[in-house]
């Protein structure tokens, strides 16, 4: 019998529709290859909002692969602007969807600064570590070319949703461990952080909307492929790190009826215990991807919290 969940009415009907689309077009793996090919055209046909300009840069990713960066920024440019680098969700193996580009434009608008959207390679053809290394390459490029891009290298933030949250957390750890660029803050939205999928929410959220326990297991199986043994790198599953010290300030948002809820909370607590500044917002009566429905009160309230956190760190005076 299908479990009943007390969803917020303002997002429930939309969630059921998206859930139907996911189960028909995304859940069967053989369809995803075709869906990704179609979504690959999206960056070229998705309209850019009038008050923003968009540019594209192609950089060298992991082992010489090509990675596209799409930069959304307000028309009125400023000198030494802060910037947000954004890693989209999609289970590591599904291409960026329309709402991901909308989020990037929202951040550029609300934060009044560039938002760099990273079109990393996907796990169906490029399993771990390609995606996360592509994302780290994007951070390094933006940092190294900050002056040419008009960006303040001391005010670069990173963020992502779902699998993008995992990539964000991993990139923050990589930058610390490798002596790489200093990240001023990180934003994780209902992040995937632990491939073991043994938390209470990972087990009990069997029939939740859009993303359920089965989707969670499939995601890690595809992403890790030949790496899904005993020793998993924290750059794949950030919760498995040996140390959580000296990481950037972090914002974490979780959804009540989401398999990833408990691991997001657990990751936030690990960083808090390590002395990292953490803001944790646990939304209620929500499911994974609830913020697709931007007009709902729960989404608007949560988005305001994200913007406030990012503004506080991005718009502080440069230490330069």
- Per DSSP, helices labelled H in the chain are 9-21, 29-39, 42-45, 98-111, 130-144, 146-149, 163-177, 200-204, 213-224, 261-273, 297-314
How many angstroms separate the CA atoms of 171 and 12, rounded?
33
Predicted TM-score of the model (pTM): 0.95
Tell me if residue 212 is catalytic: no
3 state DSSP class of 106: helix
* Predicted confidence (pLDDT) at residue 26 exceeds the cutoff of 90: no
For tokens 């608007």, the residue is: 300
Annotated catalytic residue within 161, 288, 291, 313: 288
Annotated catalytic residue within 106, 152, 258, 291: 258
- Of 299, 165, 288, nearest to 215 by C-alpha is 288
Q: Say what percent of the chain tops pLDDT 70.
A: 96
- How many Cα neighbours within 13 Å face the side chain of 268? 22
Tell me if residue 199 is catalytic: no
Model pLDDT, residue 30: 76
The string of pLDDT tens digits covering residues 96-122 is 999 999 999 999 999 999 999 999 999
Structural domain boundaries in the chain: 9-314
* CA 43 to each of CA 37, 46, 111, 113, 149: distance values in angstroms, whole numbers, following the listed order: 12, 6, 21, 20, 20
Model pLDDT, residue 136: 98
The string of pLDDT tens digits covering residues 73-82 is 999 887 899 9
Token pair for residue 213? 């326990």
pLDDT (average), residues 2-7: 82
How does residue 27 score in pLDDT terms, banded at 50, 70 and 90? low
Model pLDDT, residue 2: 56
Helix pair angle (297-314, 98-111), 10° resolution: 50
Annotated catalytic residue within 8, 161, 162, 199: 162
The string of pLDDT tens digits covering residues 33-68 is 889 999 999 988 899 999 999 999 999 999 999 999
Model pLDDT, residue 28: 67
Cβ-count burial 111-122 (b if 16+ within 10 Å, e if not): bbbbbbbbbbbb
* Predicted confidence (pLDDT) at residue 84 exceeds the cutoff of 90: yes
User: Which phi and psi (to 5°) does residue 116 adopt?
Assistant: -100, 115
Tell me if residue 162 is catalytic: yes
Beta carbons of 297 and 11 less than 8 angstroms apart: no
What is the rounded radius of gyration, in angstroms, for the C-alpha atoms of the chain? 18
Model pLDDT, residue 318: 47
How does residue 230 score in pLDDT terms, banded at 50, 70 and 90? low
Burial (CB count <10 Å: 0-12, 13-18, 19+), residue 4: exposed
Rounded mean pLDDT of the chain? 94
Model pLDDT, residue 1: 43
How does residue 90 score in pLDDT terms, banded at 50, 70 and 90? very high
Q: Which of 16-30, 95-109, 121-135, 263-277 has the lowest mean pLDDT?
A: 16-30
Model pLDDT, residue 79: 83
pLDDT (average), residues 129-156: 97
The string of pLDDT tens digits covering residues 210-226 is 999 999 999 999 999 97
The string of pLDDT tens digits covering residues 180-194 is 999 999 999 999 999
Q: Does domain 9-314 have CATH number 3.40.50.1820?
A: yes
Model pLDDT, residue 229: 61
pLDDT (average), residues 303-315: 97
For tokens 């429930």, the residue is: 12
């Amino acid at each position: 019998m299908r479990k009943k969940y007390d969803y917020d009415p303002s997002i429930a009907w939309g969630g059921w529709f998206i859930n139907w689309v996911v189960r028909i077009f995304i859940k069967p793996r053989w369809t995803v290859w075709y869906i990704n090919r179609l979504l690959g055209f999206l960056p070229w046909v998705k309209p850019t909002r009038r008050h923003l300009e968009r540019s594209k840069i192609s950089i060298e990713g992991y082992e010489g692969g090509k990675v596209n960066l799409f930069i959304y920024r307000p028309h009125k440019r400023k000198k030494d602007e802060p910037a947000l680098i954004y890693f989209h969700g999609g289970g590591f193996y599904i291409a960026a969807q329309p709402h991901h580009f909308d989020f990037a434009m929202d951040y550029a608008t609300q934060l009044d600064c560039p938002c760099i959207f990273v079109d990393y390679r996907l796990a169906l053809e490029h399993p771990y570590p390609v995606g996360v290394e592509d994302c780290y390459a994007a951070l390094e490029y933006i940092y190294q070319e900050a002056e040419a891009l008009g960006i303040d290298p001391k005010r670069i933030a990173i963020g992502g949703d779902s699998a993008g949250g995992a990539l964000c957390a991993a990139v923050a750890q990589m930058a610390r461990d490798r002596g790489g660029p200093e990240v001023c803050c990180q934003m994780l939205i209902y992040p995937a952080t632990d491939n073991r999928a043994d938390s209470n929410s990972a087990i009990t959220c069997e029939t939740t909307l859009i993303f359920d326990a089965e989707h969670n297991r499939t995601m890690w199986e595809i992403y890790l492929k030949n790496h899904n043994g005993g020793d998993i790198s924290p750059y794949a599953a950030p919760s498995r790190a040996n140390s959580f010290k000296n990481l950037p300030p972090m914002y974490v948002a979780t959804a009540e009826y989401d398999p990833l809820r408990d691991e997001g909370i657990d990751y936030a607590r690990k960083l808090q215990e390590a002395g990292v500044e953490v803001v944790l917002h646990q939304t209620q009566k929500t499911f994974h991807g609830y913020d697709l429905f931007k007009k709902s009160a729960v989404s608007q309230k949560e988005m305001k919290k994200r913007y406030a956190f990012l503004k506080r760190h991005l718009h502080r005076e440069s230490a330069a």
